[in-house]
Amino acid sequence: MDFQSLSFPDAPMIKVSPPGPKSQEYLDFQSNTEGGAVSYPKGMPMALHKAKGATVMDVDGNVYIDFFGGAGVMNVGHSNPEVIKAAEYQLARITHALDVPTPARRTLVKMLFQVLPTEIEKVFFGGPTGTDAVEAAMKLAKYNTGRIPMIAFEGSYHGMAAGALSLTSGLQFKEDFYPLLPEVHFVPYAYCYRCVYGKKPESCDLECARYLEHVLEDPHSGVGKPAALIIEAIQGEGGSIVPPGGFIPKVRQICDTYDILLIIDEIQAGFCRTGKMFAFEHTGTVPDIMTMSKALGGLGFPISCVAFKKNLDTWTPGKHIGTFRGNVIAYAAGSAGLKFMLDHNLADYAANLGQTMLSWLKEIEKDSKIIGEARGKGLMLGVELVKDKDSKEPAPDLAIKVRSICHRHGLLIEIGGHYNNVARFLPPLILTEELALKGIEIFEDAVRNAQKTY
């Protein structure tokens, strides 16, 4: 398929510097009427009119290249015609059914079992958002083990409800809301650019994983035996962090040794984004429980799912409930989205295009004084911005500047990372190489501009 025809032609096209007058009206209305926690329009001030493929149009007619992808939701591209068709078909039939079976639900479950590891034999649809899947996964682990403690990783992001927030490491999200869940412990992720052990990936002995083992082994570590450990196989909000190949298998082995359930959170990295259907597939590791959401809903229809090994299926009817236990439109759209991913081999496409984009970013890194590291896998890429390459002092203000310049020149990007200093790219996976290059050129210019005025 020609992915080019999925996006608006001639992107980017900036007719009026954003926010244009119409966008401004929407933004003023929003800030007068909606609560102060609204955040994305602060970094990308505009109001959106429509979107197609890897491009979006604001209400002033500006067209942007989308490296943001709805925070990793739009894997098959905005307004994907095949997904729209499936959603429209379903819309005219039934749209809400709690957990009563429907043809759409059965089709999605069958399709999921085509792509899940064979060891994972059960799925469960909970509330509509990724956070809900994390909450359900943690409850399932606690229910099965009868244990309370949990282990999560520095740099993690698992969501915003109290349980998931407890497992999220960023203090800016949680410190105003204590007490959260007790007995959640954080250990270092394999964040090699800022290795807490001062090691280099070429010569390290996975000290971070060894520390995890120590915590579990030493009766004086202060950490009680956990129900589960939750991890992203590639960290998203933490700054597009790809751990070295041995890290996730080592964590799996430690979980097995100490009889701890392993939950892998695929909410952001899943569904072909990193060049495999699920990011853990890069490591040959299979979780006991996994979480999915975001791209699962096809075009952003809200849905989340927990999948797990059969022996953990101990919940009795009603043990975990909710009004929106799955979403019938999302089942239909999700099945069409998954079919599109498989028919067009989006995993390989994302792997190849991601590799190309990373090589361009690595070239830019060489000449830049403020790029500490360009990294990522598939189309989950990140560029860590620093004040100085030697000291690695984080530069969150530069990241904000770069995002703002990109926006004004027609490119949408995300910011994340431990210090909010990582420019993150999560484009729809149907991005063409031509749009990818245009986007990277805008980014390069923005980095150069930001560096000049620094």
Site for ligand PLP, rule CB under 6 A = 71, 129-131, 134, 157-159, 232, 236-237, 265, 267-268, 293
Question: Measured from the CB atom, is 59 or 303 closer to ligand PLP?
Answer: 303
Smallest distance, ligand PLP to C-beta of residue 415, A: 13
What is the rounded distance in angstroms from the CA atom of residue 51 to the CA atom of residue 243? 33
Question: Measured from the CB atom, is 126 or 410 closer to ligand PLP?
Answer: 126
Rounding to the nearest 10 degrees, give the CA dihedral for residues 120, 158, 74, 102: 50
Smallest distance, ligand PLP to C-beta of residue 244, A: 20
- 16 Cβ partners below 8 Å, 6+ apart? 60, 61, 62
What is the rounded distance in angstroms from the CA atom of residue 109 to the CA atom of residue 123? 8
Question: Measured from the CB atom, is 230 or 351 closer to ligand PLP?
Answer: 230
Smallest distance, ligand PLP to C-beta of residue 322, A: 14
Question: Measured from the CB atom, is 290 or 430 closer to ligand PLP?
Answer: 290
Question: Measured from the CB atom, is 70 or 410 closer to ligand PLP?
Answer: 70
Question: Measured from the CB atom, is 102 or 268 closer to ligand PLP?
Answer: 268
Smallest distance, ligand PLP to C-beta of residue 353, A: 21
Question: Measured from the CB atom, is 6 or 230 closer to ligand PLP?
Answer: 230
Question: Measured from the CB atom, is 19 or 239 closer to ligand PLP?
Answer: 239
Question: Measured from the CB atom, is 216 or 330 closer to ligand PLP?
Answer: 330
CA torsion through residues 398, 399, 405, 409, sign: positive
Q: Tokens at residue 268, please? A: 């952001």
Smallest distance, ligand PLP to C-beta of residue 229, A: 15
Smallest distance, ligand PLP to C-beta of residue 168, A: 8
Smallest distance, ligand PLP to C-beta of residue 235, A: 8
What is the rounded distance in angstroms from the CA atom of residue 222 to the CA atom of residue 305? 33
Smallest distance, ligand PLP to C-beta of residue 267, A: 4
Backbone phi and psi for residue 58, each to the nearest 5 degrees, phi listed first = -90, 175
What is the rounded distance in angstroms from the CA atom of residue 291 to the CA atom of residue 282? 17
Smallest distance, ligand PLP to C-beta of residue 316, A: 26
What is the rounded distance in angstroms from the CA atom of residue 140 to the CA atom of residue 314? 8
Question: Measured from the CB atom, is 38 or 100 closer to ligand PLP?
Answer: 38
What is the rounded distance in angstroms from the CA atom of residue 403 to the CA atom of residue 398? 8
**Closest residue (Cβ) to ligand PLP?**
130
User: Which of 342, 215, 232 lies closest to 279 in space, CA to CA?
Assistant: 232
Smallest distance, ligand PLP to C-beta of residue 330, A: 12
Smallest distance, ligand PLP to C-beta of residue 269, A: 7
Q: Tokens at residue 401, please? A: 């500047």
Q: Tokens at residue 90, please? A: 């379903």
